[in-house]
Amino acid sequence: MSTHLVHFGTKTIHFQIHRAERKTLNIQVHPDGLVHVLAPLNADEGAIAQKVKQKAGWIIRQQDHFASFLPLTPPRKYVNGETHLYLGRQYQLRKVESENQQVKLYRGCIEVHSLDTSDSAIEQILQEWYKVKAREIFADLLAEYLSKHCRFQKYSVNLHVKKMPTRWGSCSPAGRITLNSELVKAPKACIEYVILHELCHLIIPSHNRKFYRLLSVLMPDWENWKARLERVMV
Ligand SMILES: [Zn+2]
This model's pTM is above 0.85: no
Instruction: Collect all residues with Cβ–Cβ distance below 8 Å to 53 and sequence separation of at least 6.
Output: 6, 8
Residue 101 Cα to ligand 1 middle (Å): 39
Residue 195 is which amino acid? I
pLDDT tens string 60-107: 877 776 665 555 566 789 999 999 999 988 899 999 999 999 999 999
Cα-based distances in Å from 219 to 8, 71, 85, 96: 34, 22, 24, 41
Distance 20 CA to ligand 1 centre (A): 29
Q: What spacing in Å lies between the alpha carbon of 119 and ligand 1's midpoint?
A: 36
Domains of the chain plus CATH, in order, are 2-67 (no CATH), 83-232 (3.30.2010.10)
Residue 180 has pLDDT above 70, yes or no: yes
201 alpha carbon – ligand 1 mean position (Å): 7
**What pLDDT, in 10s, does the model give residues 207-222?**
889 999 999 999 999 9
* Residue 151 per-residue DSSP state: G
Among 29-38, 54-63, 112-121, the range scoring the smallest mean pLDDT is 29-38
For residues 226 and 169, give the distance between their C-alpha atoms in angstroms, rounded to a whole number.
13
Q: How far is it, in rounded angstroms, from Cα 198 to Cα 169?
A: 7
Q: How far is the CA of 198 from the centre of ligand 1 (A)?
A: 6
Question: Can you give the pLDDT at residue 234?
Answer: 45
Q: What is the mean pLDDT of residues 222-226?
A: 88
> What is the distance in A from the centroid of ligand 1 to the CA of 60?
16
Q: Please tell me what DSSP assigns to residue 7.
A: E
The CA 64 to ligand 1 mean position distance, Å, reads 12
Residue 81 burial (C-beta neighbours within 10 Å; 0-12, 13-18, 19+): exposed
Angle, to 10 degrees, between the axis of helix 209-218 and the axis of helix 222-232? 90
Cα–Cα distance measured from residue 210 to residue 81, given in angstroms and rounded to the nearest whole number? 46
HEC readout, 56-107: HHHHHHHHHHHHCCCCCCCCCCCCCCCEEEECCEEEEEEEEECCCCEEEEEC
**Distance, CA 98 to ligand 1 centroid (Å)?**
44
Supply φ then ψ for residue 104, to 5 degrees. Answer: -130, 140
Q: Sheet harboring 109-114: ordered strands across?
A: 83-86, 89-97, 109-114, 102-106
Q: How far is the CA of 214 from the centre of ligand 1 (A)?
A: 12
